[in-house]
Structure 1
Amino acid sequence: MTHTPLPPLRTTVRGAGPGLPLAHGAGGSVAAHFAALMPALAEQHTVVAPDYPGSGGTPLPAGPLTLDGLADALVAAATGAGVESFTLVGYSLGTLVSVRAAARHPGRVRGLVLTAGMAGPDNRMLASLELWRTLLGAGDRKAFARFSALSSFSTDFFNALPQEQVPALLHLLASAVPEGTADQAGLVATADTTADLPGIAVPTLVVATTRDNLVSPANSRLLADRIPGAEYAEIAAGHAVMVERQEEWQKLLLEFLARHGL
């Protein structure tokens, strides 16, 4: 499939050492999804943290957003930062981007960490993404924030919040929706990396979020089953693992990197 190359992604670079580009999820930014991890990762790695078009400081693309285009732009952000080979850390949509980058640039990708991911959307995810785009198209950010809270957080985590704190959380979610959310959701709805998985030949860690109301953990198990030699781990968290179980996620990631010398 042909695609129009994306302009450079707005990228933050921190630390020194082996390369570690981060691929964030749809409807977020690299800061929203990885800010809590970046200090620990940057202690021994060069962390390359780009924002997708319509997120953070990266403008919307002039043409359609494609998986190949985004994968190439992620690799370009890494090489532009002076990192010639690297381990990709993908979250949610970022798992699709990372797998496609590994398939398109096998000489550069040394490892993969795929969290709360998928090879393509299942029926539940497609319905959720359609609702995302409908609410955003209607300009109803309050309703979008409510649905985002219900799908991003595990039931136990959300119910444990003091009721007086919920309005502020919903206001924060409504005010932080990136301009590119609808385009990114549309990309998730059409992406499919199933055919890429058997060709992945680098150390891979797949992390399932077992209380995820947005991306079923069955999708992570499929990734682990289809990628040769992939390691599999579980975290009892909702989709927003960086909010619910950040320290556990960080520990799994750092141990994997150390174990494989990445």
Structure 2
Amino acid sequence: MSGFSLDGSVAIRAAARHSERVTALVLTATFPYRDNRLALASSVWRKIAASGDRETLAEFLLMMALGTQVLESMSSEQLQETLGFAAAAAADGSPEQVNLVGQVDVRDDLAGIKVPTLVISTTDDWVASTALHRRLAETIPGARLAEIAGGHLPMLERTDEWLQLITDFLGKH
């Protein structure tokens, strides 16, 4: 089972409550609860999403989600094109999603995970801090922590490295 970001909390809950259905768990850029940084970010995110201003929402989300190296490597034209795509793809359910971010707390489930677990920490993540990633790895029995340099979206920023970590881990389990 695999979970990314908010979906990771769902995967944690499923793995803790239905261990007979899960053979291994991979968590990428996952947060077990909302810390202060995520509380501030989700407050801004909620207000922008509720306004219906998809362009400003895209600007905010790209600033938060992309790692510094990827963001700064873009030309002005690439950045504008990416913002256009992000604005067009902004989900109508954003306010509801960000409200869920504020309610998530799966800390009580962590000790109950009985399957091999890989926690992938994104080291330049402005959404889910590395401290939250480390907390997962320290609290889930026997979890392994792996770091990927980059922002909240390793599947876009470091695709091959991210897939290799997952493939190697699942190949062993």
Range into which the TM-score falls when normalised by the shorter chain? over 0.9
Question: Secondary structure at the residue paired with 1:107?
Answer: helix
Output the CA distance in 2 between the equivalents of 1:235 and 1:99.
Answer: 21
Q: Does 2:61 correspond to 1:148?
A: yes
Q: 1:232 aligns with which of 138, 145, 167?
A: 145
Task: Report the AA paired with residue 162 of structure 1.
Answer: S
Q: Does 2:98 correspond to 1:185?
A: yes
Provide the aligned C-alpha RMSD in A: 0.9
Which residue matches 1:216? Answer: 129
Output the CA distance in 1 between the equivalents of 2:25 and 2:93.
Answer: 25
Which residue matches 1:129? Answer: 42
Deviation of residue 103 (structure 1)?
A: 2.0
More strand by share: 1
Deviation of residue 126 (structure 1)?
A: 1.1
Output the CA distance in 2 between the equivalents of 1:256 and 1:164.
Answer: 38
Task: Report the AA paired with residue 186 of structure 1.
Answer: N
Which residue matches 1:167? Answer: 80
Preserved CA contact (<8 Å) 2:68 2:150 = no
Which residue matches 2:5? Answer: 92
Output the CA distance in 2 between the equivalents of 1:248 and 1:170.
Answer: 25
Q: Does 2:111 correspond to 1:198?
A: yes
Q: For structure 2, which runs of at least 5 residues remain unmatched after alignment?
A: none
Task: Report the AA paired with residue 154 of structure 1.
Answer: G
Which residue matches 1:241? Answer: 154
More helix by share: 2
Deviation of residue 182 (structure 1)?
A: 1.7
Deviation of residue 181 (structure 1)?
A: 2.0
Output the CA distance in 2 between the equivalents of 1:111 and 1:165.
Answer: 38
Which residue matches 1:207? Answer: 120
Output the CA distance in 2 between the equivalents of 1:119 and 1:169.
Answer: 29
Cα deviation 1:42-71 (Å, max 9, x = unaligned): xxxxxxxxxxxxxxxxxxxxxxxxxxxxxx
Deviation of residue 179 (structure 1)?
A: 2.1
Deviation of residue 106 (structure 1)?
A: 2.1
> What stretches of structure 1 move > 2 A for 4+ residues in a row?
none
Deviation of residue 180 (structure 1)?
A: 2.0
Identity of aligned residues (%): 43
Q: Which has the higher contact order (CA 8 A, sep 6+)?
A: 2
Cα deviation 1:60-95 (Å, max 9, x = unaligned): xxxxxxxxxxxxxxxxxxxxxxxxxxxx11000011
Question: Secondary structure at the residue paired with 2:20?
Answer: coil
Output the CA distance in 2 between the equivalents of 1:255 and 1:144.
Answer: 36
Preserved CA contact (<8 Å) 2:134 2:145 = yes
Deviation of residue 136 (structure 1)?
A: 1.2
Preserved CA contact (<8 Å) 2:69 2:150 = no
Q: For structure 1, which runs of at least 5 residues remain unmatched after alignment?
A: 1-87
Cα deviation 1:103-161 (Å, max 9, x = unaligned): 22222111100000111011111111111111111111111111111101011210110
Task: Report the AA paired with residue 121 of structure 2.
Answer: A
Question: Secondary structure at the residue paired with 1:222?
Answer: helix
Output the CA distance in 1 between the equivalents of 2:153 and 2:25.
Answer: 20
Instruction: Give the total of aligned pairs.
Output: 173
